Each structure stands twice: as structure tokens, then as C-alpha cells.
């Protein structure tokens, strides 16, 4: 039995998660397992009604589960950033989901890449450090001081910058920081993933030729972990990586990225795979509570019209069941998605004629046939 919190969220999140649950339930029936699903209201409606985002009670409730299956949040009535910071970022931090996982496979014929390129990349992005730690400020005037107090799962850091500026010039800064412990636990995850998937190397992305301190430590640790696991590490500068991903994505297996470069490259990965309709992700805390979601947002422009493609949410469910220890069920769901695409049982954005519910029904039916 798997205990899962389901958060449909806003806009098309509600529509696609309903289909994802349908497909997961079909797979559970076929395999004779039980999914114990608890629904939770998070997102704009609750926020506008009560002012609550992700409360301490919500966090305690989620803690009693193994995973969170999440739709999308976002609403034109709420200022940008409020829901994202107060719900998504808070959840990642509260549960220390330090790995962002985004598989990128070529979904023919939806990949925009020319030719029959077949690739199967697992993008892993460090999800808590680097330039996204919130360590920034503005220095005004000749003498300035900036202090920051950052509390993380692994450490607490007090950053004190005092500066004297030769003019009244104004400076803004954002500090990229990574801790040894943070890189080590992330690198462990990457090499273990390569081991599990039978990949012959880990490609580590950075910009070590420019940000020498930050990515110098990154390389030192990846070198050591490569030796420890007996799996080669290949380094790629992020700019070269962007080109290589378009030209020859089949070269890569496990791709390890620091937070900011990972943010950008995983969107490139989503696009070469076939776009937002098929891109799914997991925010992973190994041994803890992880959260699985489609990459797309709430898409208010098409919400409530039955136009949303449920495949990304269904594939997020596949990643979740993989991570819960049943990759055999995950493979069955992926097979059903592939068949649905082949048989054109898809929504209009993929050239089909089905609405969201019909597309979900078709994939659930294929899962039942997979047996």
C-alpha cells in the first residue's frame, strides 16, 4: 500500500491530475496494489478564501505520507511569486527535496529534432543551493553592509558583507553558494542513479572556467565520487552543453546540474523531448517525502475547456511509482502512453481529437490491456 497526498491545485492542474489518478488506479488494479490517496486543497482558491498557503498543519499532514502528487498552481488573481514561494518553494525546503529529476526521452514524432534521434537522458538538478539560495542584496552609497542569515537543512550560514564603494554607485548582487555536504549528497544521488540505470558515465555541467571557486568545489567532489563509485565523470561547460543537447543528445545518460544551469537546461530537455505536454518532474528527498508534478503550469488560458493534455501529469505519476519502488508499473504506464501516441489517442496539441478525459480514458484502457 502506498500513501499519497494528491494536490490538484489550480487551472488545468485539476483536470490533468484527475486523469493521472485514473491511470495510476488502473495500473494499481492490474498489479493488485493499493493506493491510499488523500486529497489536499492547496492553491489560489484556498489562498484567496483564507490567506493560507502551505501551513505547518499541511506539512505535518504531508509527513504522514510517502509522496505528493501535484497538479499545478498559478492564478491571474494572485500576484506572481506568492503561490510559488509560499507553496512550491516552501514544500521543497520543508521536505528537503534536494534533487529535481526530469527525464527527457525522445517522443517521436513530437520531438522537434530532425532525424530519428533516440535519447534517454535523466536530468538531475541540485534543488537547494547555488544562485537560488536567496543570498543577495543591494549595496547603496559609499559604505554598505549586507547581512544574511540562511537556515538550511544541512547548515546555518551567516553571510556578512561590508563594502566600501568609491562612488555613490549602486550595486546589486546575488551570491552563488554550494556547500560540500550539499554537493556530496547530490553527487551520491547522481552516481547511484547511473549505477541503477546502467549508464556508463555521469555528465556534470558547470562553468568552472569562469566561476572557479563555486564550480571548483563542485568538480573536486564529483572527481572524488567518480572514483568512489567507479563510474567516469565527464565535465561539460553549460554553454557547450546547450549546443550538444540539440546536436547530439544521444551522447548523454545521467546529466548532473547545479541549480541555475539545471533550471535552464531541463527546459531545453523538455522541448527536445516533445514539449510541455509530455514533460514531467520529481522533487526528490531520498528516504523522505518527494513530490511529483507535470512541468507545465496552470495554463489559465485553456483551463476548464477539456483541452489540457494529461500526458505530462500521467508521466509524473509514472516517475512517482518508479520512485516508490515499482519501476515495472512505471514502465507499463510509459508503454501505454507510447501506444496512445502511436494510435493518435491524444489531445489537439499533439494532433489528436480527444479531450482531456477521453485521452486519460484511452491511456487507462491501454494500461489494462498491457497485462
- Residues at the contact surface with ligand ATP, assessed by CB under 6 A: 12, 16, 72, 74, 276-277, 296-302, 308-309, 312, 349
Please state the closest distance from residue 262 (CB atom) to ligand ATP, in A.
18
Of 259 and 298, the one with the shorter C-beta distance to ligand ATP is 298
Please state the closest distance from residue 263 (CB atom) to ligand ATP, in A.
14
Residue 150, classified by CB atoms within 10 Å of its CB into exposed (0-12), middle (13-18) or buried (19+), is middle
Nearest alpha carbon to residue 316 among 100, 127, 134, 145: 100
Please state the closest distance from residue 302 (CB atom) to ligand ATP, in A.
5
160 vs 171: CA distance, rounded Å: 16
Please state the closest distance from residue 363 (CB atom) to ligand ATP, in A.
14
Minimal CB distance residue for ligand ATP: 297
Please state the closest distance from residue 300 (CB atom) to ligand ATP, in A.
6
293 vs 123: CA distance, rounded Å: 15
Of 8 and 277, the one with the shorter C-beta distance to ligand ATP is 277
Please state the closest distance from residue 101 (CB atom) to ligand ATP, in A.
18
Of 241 and 303, the one with the shorter C-beta distance to ligand ATP is 303
Of 273 and 308, the one with the shorter C-beta distance to ligand ATP is 308
Of 121 and 295, the one with the shorter C-beta distance to ligand ATP is 295
Residue 20 vs residues 15, 24, 228, 366: alpha-carbon distances, Å? 9, 6, 39, 14
Within 8 A by CB and 6+ apart from 24, the residues are 35, 69, 317, 320, 321, 333
Of 97 and 309, the one with the shorter C-beta distance to ligand ATP is 309
How many residues are present in the chain?
A: 371
Amino acid at each position: 500500500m502506498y500513501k499519497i497526498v494528491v494536490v490538484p491545485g489550480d487551472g488545468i492542474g485539476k483536470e490533468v491530475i484527475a486523469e493521472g489518478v485514473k491511470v495510476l488506479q488502473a495500473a494499481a488494479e492490474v498489479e493488485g496494489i493499493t493506493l491510499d490517496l488523500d486529497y489536499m486543497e492547496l492553491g489560489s482558491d484556498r489562498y484567496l478564501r483564507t490567506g493560507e498557503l502551505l501551513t505547518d498543519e499541511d506539512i505535518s499532514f504531508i509527513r504522514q505520507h510517502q509522496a505528493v502528487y501535484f497538479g499545478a498552481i498559478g492564478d491571474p488573481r494572485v500576484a506572481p511569486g506568492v503561490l510559488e514561494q509560499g507553496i512550491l518553494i516552501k514544500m521543497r525546503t520543508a521536505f528537503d527535496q534536494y534533487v529535481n529529476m526530469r527525464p527527457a526521452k525522445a517522443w517521436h514524432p513530437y520531438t522537434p529534432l530532425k532525424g530519428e534521434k533516440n535519447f534517454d537522458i535523466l536530468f538531475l538538478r541540485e534543488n537547494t543551493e547555488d544562485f537560488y539560495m536567496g543570498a543577495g542584496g543591494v549595496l547603496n552609497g559609499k559604505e554598505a553592509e549586507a547581512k544574511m542569515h540562511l537556515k538550511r537543512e544541512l547548515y546555518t550560514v551567516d553571510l556578512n558583507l561590508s563594502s566600501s564603494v568609491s562612488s555613490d554607485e549602486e550595486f546589486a548582487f546575488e551570491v552563488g553558494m554550494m556547500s560540500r555536504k550539499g554537493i556530496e549528497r547530490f553527487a551520491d544521488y547522481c552516481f547511484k542513479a547511473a549505477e541503477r540505470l546502467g549508464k556508463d558515465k555521469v555528465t556534470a555541467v558547470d562553468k568552472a572556467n569562469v566561476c572557479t571557486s563555486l564550480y571548483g568545489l563542485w568538480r573536486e567532489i564529483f572527481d572524488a565520487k567518480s572514483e568512489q563509485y567507479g563510474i567516469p565523470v565527464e565535465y561539460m561547460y553549460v554553454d557547450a552543453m546547450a549546443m550538444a543537447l540539440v546536436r547530439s543528445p544521444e551522447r548523454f545518460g545521467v546529466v548532473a546540474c547545479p541549480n541555475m544551469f539545471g533550471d535552464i537546461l531541463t527546459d531545453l530537455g523538455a522541448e527536445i523531448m516533445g514539449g510541455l505536454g509530455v514533460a514531467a518532474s520529481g522533487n526528490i528527498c531520498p528516504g523522505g517525502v518527494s513530490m511529483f508534478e507535470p512541468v507545465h503550469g496552470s495554463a489559465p488560458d485553456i483551463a476548464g475547456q477539456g483541452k489540457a493534455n494529461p500526458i505530462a501529469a500521467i508521466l509524473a505519476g509514472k516517475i512517482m511509482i518508479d520512485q516508490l519502488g515499482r519501476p515495472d508499473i512505471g514502465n507499463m504506464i510509459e508503454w501505454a502512453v507510447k501506444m496512445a501516441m502511436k494510435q493518435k489517442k491524444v489531445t489537439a496539441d499533439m494532433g489528436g481529437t480527444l479531450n482531456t478525459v477521453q485521452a486519460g480514458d484511452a491511456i487507462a484502457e491501454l494500461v489494462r490491456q498491457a497485462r
